[in-house]
């Protein structure tokens, strides 16, 4: 049996199983780790969006990045909008498809500005035409919004290109935007959820993020099922090889009680003799007339 299991063909199969099984197990745990990361991110979003709003200066400051753990926290700020430095963020989804987000600085009472994403508007007919943007309310307002991290090309997967229309950008890179503004700017920006007073028309509110842990958990289970299938197939092939070797490669032996085939060799390895065959036939009675 050992000779059969260590044949060149079986050694190659052993090597394949030794490579495949650990790989499948590792892929399953990798998908499980990804699911756990996404589940933790979803739990953080739910907790932060359910928490009571706090003043923006408690979670962010000029020139500092927002802590990842404070993402989606609701913050409040009071001041007046600065429509002269308003920007439009391209290629953003809304109820009408791909459009623009309206990013307007809110200059607070202490002179520091918070970038506020006031909402979504439709894409203009042409790339160079000026879209119809609802004006922000005049005077002092108090806003509440979900705190978001500053964007980069790497974090969004968006390639920033040149030649954009005036006052339009591809990503909300707070540091780059702040360099062109005449006042200090808080890190991160806020997606507007409430505003007092409401004012007139306003862009379509940006919906909260979808809470989804993805399919990674099911993918992990699938990889582990593949592992079990590979091990089961390996055991099945081993058993078949051992049985075939015991039967001399001629397949399974006849079942108990079955007569051997006519041309099966006798006890000494010879074919059964004519006399032996005839002995097994019933005697014929002589027919008499």
Q: Which of 136, 164, 196 is a domain's end point?
A: 196
Encode the chain (289 residues) as per-residue pLDDT tens digits: 666 667 777 788 788 888 889 999 999 999 999 889 888 888 988 999 999 999 999 999 998 989 999 999 999 999 999 999 999 999 999 887 899 999 999 999 999 999 999 999 998 887 777 888 999 999 999 999 999 999 988 878 887 777 788 899 999 999 999 999 999 999 999 999 999 998 778 899 998 888 777 788 889 999 999 999 989 988 888 888 777 777 765 444 555 555 555 554 554 445 555 544 554 555 444 444 3
Same-domain check for residues 125 and 105: yes
Inside any domain, residue 264: no
Inside any domain, residue 253: no
Instruction: Please report the DSSP string for the chain in residue order.
Output: -HHHHTSHHHHHHHHHHHHHHHHHHHHHHHHHHHHHHHHHHHHHHHHHHHSPPEEGGGT--BT-PPPGGGTT-EEEEEEEE-GGG-EEEEEEEETTEEEEEEEEEEEETTS-EEEEEEEEEEPPSSTTSPP--PPPPSS-EEEEEEEEPPP-HHHH-PPP-S-PPTTEESS--HHHHHTTSSS-BBSSEEEEEEEES--S--PBPPPPPP---TTHHHHHHHHHHHHHHHHHHHHHHHHHHHHHHHTTTS-SPPPTTPPPPTT---TTSSPPPHHHHHHTSPPPPPP--
Same-domain check for residues 76 and 139: yes
pLDDT value, residue 263: 52
Inside any domain, residue 152: yes
For the chain, what is the domain count? 2
Angle at alpha carbon of residue 202, lines to 163 and 136, rounded to 5°: 75
Inside any domain, residue 61: yes
pLDDT value, residue 150: 94
> Could you tell me how many residues make up the chain?
289
Q: Which residue, among 220, 195, 214, has the nearest Cα to 137 in the 3D structure?
A: 195
Q: Which residue, among 91, 114, 97, has the nearest Cα to 169 in the 3D structure?
A: 91
Same-domain check for residues 42 and 77: no
Please state, in angstroms and rounded to a whole number, the distance separating the CA atoms of residues 56 and 190: 9
Residues 6+ apart with CB under 8 A from 216: 31, 32, 34, 35, 38
Q: Is 156 exposed, middle or buried (0-12, 13-18, 19+ CB in 10 A)?
A: middle
Please state, in angstroms and rounded to a whole number, the distance separating the CA atoms of residues 151 and 146: 15
Residues 6+ apart with CB under 8 A from 107: 79, 80, 81, 82, 113, 183
Inside any domain, residue 281: no
HSE-CB of 74 using CA atoms within 13 angstroms: 15
Same-domain check for residues 86 and 165: yes
Please state, in angstroms and rounded to a whole number, the distance separating the CA atoms of residues 190 and 117: 6
Same-domain check for residues 24 and 81: no
Q: Quick count: other Cβ atoms within 10 Å of Cβ 148?
A: 20
pLDDT value, residue 216: 84
Inside any domain, residue 242: yes
Backbone φ and ψ for 250, nearest 5 degrees, come out as -95, 10
Same-domain check for residues 84 and 131: yes
Inside any domain, residue 74: yes
Q: Pairing between strand 141-148 and 168-169? A: unpaired
Inside any domain, residue 23: yes
Same-domain check for residues 98 and 230: no
Q: The domain containing residue 41 runs over which residues?
A: 2-46+215-246
Same-domain check for residues 73 and 178: yes
Task: Identify whether the C-beta of residue 13 lies closer than 8 Å to the C-beta of residue 237.
Answer: yes
Same-domain check for residues 42 and 61: no
Same-domain check for residues 71 and 136: yes
Same-domain check for residues 219 and 137: no
Same-domain check for residues 59 and 162: yes
pTM: 0.69
Please state, in angstroms and rounded to a whole number, the distance separating the CA atoms of residues 88 and 121: 9
């Amino acid at each position: 049996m050992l000779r059969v299991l260590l044949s060149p063909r079986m050694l190659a199969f052993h090597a394949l199983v030794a490579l495949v099984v650990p790989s499948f197990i590792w892929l399953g745990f990798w998908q499980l780790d990804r699911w756990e990361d996404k589940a933790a991110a979803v739990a953080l979003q739910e907790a932060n969006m359910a928490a009571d709003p706090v003043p923006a200066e408690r979670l962010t400051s000029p020139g500092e990045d927002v802590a990842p753990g404070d993402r989606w926290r609701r913050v409040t700020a009071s001041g007046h909008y600065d429509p002269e430095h308003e920007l439009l963020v391209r290629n953003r989804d809304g109820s009408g498809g791909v459009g623009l987000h309206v990013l307007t600085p809110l200059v607070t009472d202490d002179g520091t500005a918070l970038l506020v994403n006031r909402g979504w508007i439709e894409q203009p007919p042409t790339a160079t035409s000026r879209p119809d943007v609802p004006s922000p309310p005049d005077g002092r307002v108090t806003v509440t919004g979900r705190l978001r991290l500053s964007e980069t090309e790497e974090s969004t997967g968006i390639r920033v290109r040149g030649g954009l229309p005036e006052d339009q950008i591809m990503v909300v890179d707070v540091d780059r935007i702040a360099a062109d503004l005449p006042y200090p700017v808080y890190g991160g920006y806020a997606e507007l959820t409430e505003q007092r007073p409401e004012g007139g028309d306003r862009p379509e509110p940006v919906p909260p993020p979808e809470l989804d842990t993805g399919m990674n958990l099911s993918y992990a289970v699938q990889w582990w099922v593949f592992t079990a299938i590979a091990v089961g197939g390996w055991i099945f092939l081993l058993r078949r090889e051992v049985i075939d070797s015991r039967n001399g490669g001629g397949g399974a032996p006849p079942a108990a009680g079955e007569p051997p085939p006519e041309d099966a060799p006798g006890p000494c390895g010879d074919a059964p003799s004519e006399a032996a065959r005839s002995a097994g036939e019933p005697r014929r009675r002589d027919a008499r007339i």
